[in-house]
Structure formats: structure tokens, C-alpha cells
Amino acid sequence: MAAPPSPLGLARRVSGAGAATPAAAWSSSCRPRRLRPRLLPSKRWSGVVRMGAAVGGEQEGEDEEVKLAKEMAAARRRWETLIREQKIKTLTPREAGYTFKLTDKVLLDVRPSNERQKAWVKGSTWIPVFDVDTSFDLGGAGKKFTNYVMGGWWSGSSTMTVNKNFVQQVEEKFSKDTDIIVVCQKGLRSLAACEQLYGAGFQNLFWVQGGLEAAEEEDFEREGPQPFKLAGIGGVSEFFGWTDQQRAQAVKEGLGYRLIFTGRLVGALVLVDALFLGAQRIGPLLQELQSR
């Protein structure tokens, strides 16, 4: 029988297709609530990328999409079991914020550096479960090029690499009886991180459902230049304000926020038009020079 997939089958890239559902009202009991299986990510699984985990039963030459589907299904079953059996407890962003402020629980941010540097919770501990790939070897360059042409230019997504020392780094910071609230941007990577930590012997783990993207600004004390909801976007779509997160933000901010991106779009169109006209004029000049 093949071995089950390891916890290193992590969510490597999560699409910025829209903000998660806003957090529920804070419970007066502050007691973690059990997550129903239907609340686990479903449509977002298209953005989950395999990172070296072996999926039991796969055959040599099996289609890549079939392998990926098997791994996603296996990971969902494991995570649902951990939550259903209360081995990993669930908090909404608002519950997590109040709990972090009012108790001695620690908040562990497992996001990559490109998201962390935009916005982070004051007082949180940062240990990425995977981070931006900064290697310059030929293989790494090929992956980065593929990622860019396959949509990275639009979404700003980066090629990621697993932090193989993640569990060790957490163990160096915290004892295994520490109450740890684990958070990422959307909620997938933190759940994968919880699985690794639970397997290493950590017993008091709290998963923030929906991640920081589902948090309101008042839920946590934020540091950094961007709102929590915008920390996971990038690329051309962010520059022009065409992401779902920015459209939602525009509703709150009003006309001034919209005008910023309208100005960027108008400026880009003017630049493209100028380049086109310049090319039209240069063409005849080059032909005239060649004919002399």
C-alpha cells in the first residue's frame, strides 16, 4: 500500500479571485467553534499546487491534473478530520483578534514575505511555511518564467519554495504546549501549516478561517502600508484596481479611491497611443534612410 501524502503537499499559490466571507460576530464565550466540513475551501482548490507529496495509488504516466485532484482530495479529507475531531480548533478573524488581544495565545503568521511586508498584525510572529523562491539557477529561472507567462504578470503571484525548516523554526520559538493561532492570507496555507505542527506534537492549535483577507481592519491591530484584504494581490490587475478586493475597497473609500486607478488607466492609454503614433512616424523615416 502506498504511503499517504505528506504534510508538504501545501497550498503554493492561492488565486486572488475575490475576498472571503466577512467574519461572524464575536462570541461572548470566546470559545472556538467547530468548523463544518462544507466551510472548507472548495472552489479555491483550483489554485492549490502540489509540492512534492506522493499521492497513494497514482500510476506512472498518469495525467498531471488527475494527480493534482487526488492530492487535493486527500488533503481535504485529512484537514476535515483534524477539524472535526477538534485536533485543530477554528476561529473567525474577529474571534482570533479578540483572543490574541485578551489572552496569552501567540499569533503565528505563515504567509510568504511578499504578503507579510504589505500588512501584518502587530505583535505577531512570522515564520513562513513557504516563501518566495529567490534562487537564480536554470531550473528556478524556468519556473519563474512559466509562472509569469501563465498569469503571474496579471495577478502578481510569485514562484514559491517550501520552507523545509518550518517546524524546526516554530519549535525553537515555542514549546509544544503553547496556544498558537495560525493565520495566512486566505486560510489554506495556515491549515496546511497546522497539519505539520500537529504532526510534530503541537496540541493547542487554532486555525483562522478565511485568513487575514476575511478580517476587517478593526479585528487586528495592523502594521504595514496596505489593508489586510489587499496584502495578497499584485501585478497588472492590482495596478489598475481590477481585483475584487479593490472593488470592494472602492465601495468603502468612495470616489477619490476610484479616481486613482482611473488616472492610471488613462495615463497608460495615453502612453500606448503615444508609442503607436511614434512607431508610425519612425517607420517611414527608417524606410527613407534605407533607400538612400
User: Active-site residues: which are they?
Assistant: 184
Among the listed residues 94, 99, 115, 112, the one whose alpha carbon sits nearest the alpha carbon of residue 21: 94
**SS3 of residue 84 by DSSP:** helix
Query: What are the start-end ranges of the H helices in 38-137?
Result: 64-84, 93-102, 113-116
152 DSSP 8-state letter: I
**SS3 of residue 78 by DSSP:** helix
Please provide residue 39's backbone torsions phi and psi, each rounded to the nearest 5 degrees: -85, -10
Among the listed residues 108, 285, 62, the one whose alpha carbon sits nearest the alpha carbon of residue 207: 108
Residue 6 contacts residue 196 (beta carbons within 8 Å): no
| Residues contacting 288, CB < 8 A, separation 6+ | none
Please provide residue 266's backbone torsions phi and psi, each rounded to the nearest 5 degrees: -60, -45
